[in-house]
Amino acid sequence: MSLRLGDTAPNFKAVTTEGEIDFHEYLGNSWGVLMSHPADFTPVCTTEIGRTSQLHEEFKKRNVKVLVVSVDSVEDHYNWIKDVNETQNTSVQFPLIEDKGRVVSGLYDMIHPNASATATVRSVFVIGPDKKIKLTITYPASTGRNFVEILRVLDSLQLTANNGVATPADWKDGEDVIVVPAISTEDAIKKFPKGVRVVKPYLRYTPQPNKN
């Protein structure tokens, strides 16, 4: 059965390019992004691993740990990383998980038989510090992920977790946000000193609260 938002992310132990890990222990109090890719030594995956590596500092400043999984061996991962570093002008600094036994792929429903009986699809799971699943995205093997969107969603999830706001369509960090319906306009005016713009009783905007 597929995982749903709010479910606890299944824990697992695995061999990775950074050594053996216990997934939950590895995440600790950080946010996590767990991504699957169909296979090592494939073109789209090479660009994705490279882009993830290039964005290392962006993930780090958001307190996010990234892990990547495929059904290839850790030896294949080591050899492939050399190609990634060479062709994408980067240095991979996050774990690639060996999943030859398809344990992680099974726990996270990453193999979709109607797409491929053996290869994992391009799954993305964002996991909060509470180990709950906050976001899932699934791309087909032919389409590389949009990492701008992944960072944007992380910004939204971290902002909205405790601030009583939601983010509108196409929102980007620094733009106005929406006051959630559970907060009355009277309470919103008190809660958000930067001001509340009322368009409709149910549609109210305020400047992003965690920005100066």
* Domain definitions of the chain by residue range: 13-145, 162-206
Region 51-63: mean pLDDT is 97
Q: Which residues of 150-161 are buried (b: 16+ CB within 10 A; e: fewer)?
A: bbbbbbbbbbbe
CA distance between the termini of the chain: 44
Domain 162-206 has CATH 2.30.110.10: no
The architecture CATH gives domain 13-145: 3-Layer(aba) Sandwich (3.40)
Calpha distance 80→176 (Å, rounded)? 42
The question of whether 134 is a catalytic residue gets the answer: no
For the cut 90, the answer to whether the pLDDT of residue 110 exceeds it is no
- Average pLDDT score over the chain: 92
For the cut 90, the answer to whether the pLDDT of residue 210 exceeds it is no
For the cut 70, the answer to whether the pLDDT of residue 11 exceeds it is yes
Both structure tokens of 22: 């216990």
The predicted model scores a pTM of 0.91
Q: How far is CA 49 from each of CA 22, 45, 124, 156, 182, rounded to the nearest angstrom?
A: 22, 6, 13, 23, 40
Please report the pLDDT score of residue 114 as a whole number.
53
Both structure tokens of 205: 């905007």
CA atoms within 13 A on the CB side of 96: 29
The sign of the torsion formed by the CA atoms of 125, 57, 83, 20 equals negative
**Which residue in 45, 84, 104, 119 is the catalytic one?**
45
Please report the pLDDT score of residue 212 as a whole number.
72
For the cut 90, the answer to whether the pLDDT of residue 182 exceeds it is yes
